[in-house]
Structure 1
């Protein structure tokens, strides 16, 4: 019986690691986690913030994930949206989830990310 999500993996194009690091670490505030030796030779980056783990893996025939996406719970969503917008990331607010404030954005290679915070 599953008890938790260990990580979410998103794809990225070859040679995008520096852009991923700049976005996931500097903009989103996540810490890069060193990859073990065997996965490290395949490229990509791993990031962590609290219990959230995102693995960005390299795909030669990369296409950004748009429907499939991680939903990341945040605190202070207004300030977080401002932070992303100040770094040039799109912020698209959506009020379609009752009891939550949420917005969508994209990482630097076009993967969709959802950010949400319970309201009230």
Structure 2
């Protein structure tokens, strides 16, 4: 995904055209190009800053810093509002599960409630 300001008047006719833009680092770019059924373009430029969360990647994309590999389900509102563009329909499937860990000394009520709810859900399915 990228901001309309970064795209400007250029067209992205095919995934290979992403070689003309700076990409935000993400471990799945090569897999994304495979999903798009094209070879990973030569000469891709990745930004030196590797943001640790998708939210920070999205903020960088919104600021026009580069193209981010983002979840369409999480960032659909930004696409709907026209603040981000998803130029291609190719989407990677994520893992079927995630782990949520809590430190024994974590006093945040919301964190404790979330972990308790997750444990309850897991017990119901088991």
- With normalisation by structure 2, the TM-score equals 0.28
More helix by share: 2
More strand by share: 1
Specify the structure having the higher radius of gyration (Cα).
2
- With normalisation by structure 1, the TM-score equals 0.29
Bigger relative contact order, structure 1 or 2 (CA pairs below 8 A, ≥6 apart): 2
